[in-house]
Amino acid sequence: MNGKSIVPQNHPTIEVGTREWYRMIGRRGGRARAAMQDFRDHQANAGRRSAQLNDMSALGRRGARETLRKYGYIFLFKKCRAWRLANPSRHERQITRILDELGYAYEREALVLGDDVPVSVDFYLPDHNDAVIEVYGRIHYDPRFDHPNRPQTRRELDAHRCRQLERAGYRVLVIDYRELTNIFDVRGKIIDFVLG
């Protein structure tokens, strides 16, 4: 911008703070940006930032659908699982700290129920009678996250999944994210579950 201010201080015919004044500021700013040598790169980066902030959920669904079509469900499942392993939620990190402090061996995002229809659980404790700990964050309770093409709500699908795990012989403990405000109580709940 060559060190010059693009804001007109005193213009003889336009009063400061009026619509015309703001319009003129915008034009000057637009001309200054257009004169930049890297204007195209600047605009492309701005577009990418906008897409990241506003459109990623839509792009994600489209990308997932295309990946599913090209490579199949198992491939998509493993990619999603790898992402969850690399990016645990805040609540999962809290449970990880508790399990580490207690000295319990566990697997995060463990695959259970076979390879043909894989199901991953948040925490699997194989040394404790096939104990499974699931951490339900806000997404599990908010109806905005229900799948638009399924008649069941997220909560109904979660309950079905827990019953499916229990029928397969797993012991399931569900920890609500609101319980994690009192780590001491959650720690006791996990000890009782594992020893019981």
- Give per-residue pLDDT as tens, 20-75: 767 776 666 666 666 666 666 766 676 665 555 445 455 566 777 787 888 888 88
Q: Angle at Cα 102 formed by Cα 159 and Cα 107, nearest 5°?
A: 50
pLDDT on residue 146: 75
Q: What is the pLDDT of residue 43?
A: 66
Angle at CA 11, nearest 5°, toward 8 and 13? 145
- Whichever domain contains 163, its CATH number is 3.40.960.10
Residues 137 and 122 sit within 8 Å (Cβ to Cβ): no
Residues 108 and 156 in one domain: yes
Give Cα separations from 154 to 21, 67, 96, 135, 159 (angstroms): 51, 23, 24, 14, 9
Residue 58, token pair as written in the block: 């839509």
- Give per-residue pLDDT as tens, 123-168: 999 888 889 999 998 888 887 777 777 788 888 888 988 998 999 8
Q: How many domains does the chain have?
A: 2
Token duo for residue 3:
């060190």
Residues 35 and 129 in one domain: no
- Is 125 found in the same domain as 46? no
How far, in Å, CA of 144 to CA of 155, rounded?
Answer: 12
Q: What range does the domain containing 121 cover?
A: 88-195
Find the farthest-apart pair of alpha carbons in the chain and give their distance in angstroms, rounded.
Answer: 83
Q: What is the dihedral of CA 45, 48, 52, 58, to 10 degrees?
A: 170
Same domain, yes or no, for 98 and 172? Answer: yes
Please tell me whether residues 106 and 41 are part of one structural domain. no
Question: Beta-carbon neighbour count of residue 99 at 10 Å?
Answer: 19
Nearest-angstrom CA–CA distance, 125 and 123: 7
DSSP state of 74: H
Span of 52-61, 83-92, 102-111, 182-191 with lowest mean pLDDT? 52-61
Please report, in angstroms and rounded to a whole number, the separation of the first and last CA atoms in the chain: 70
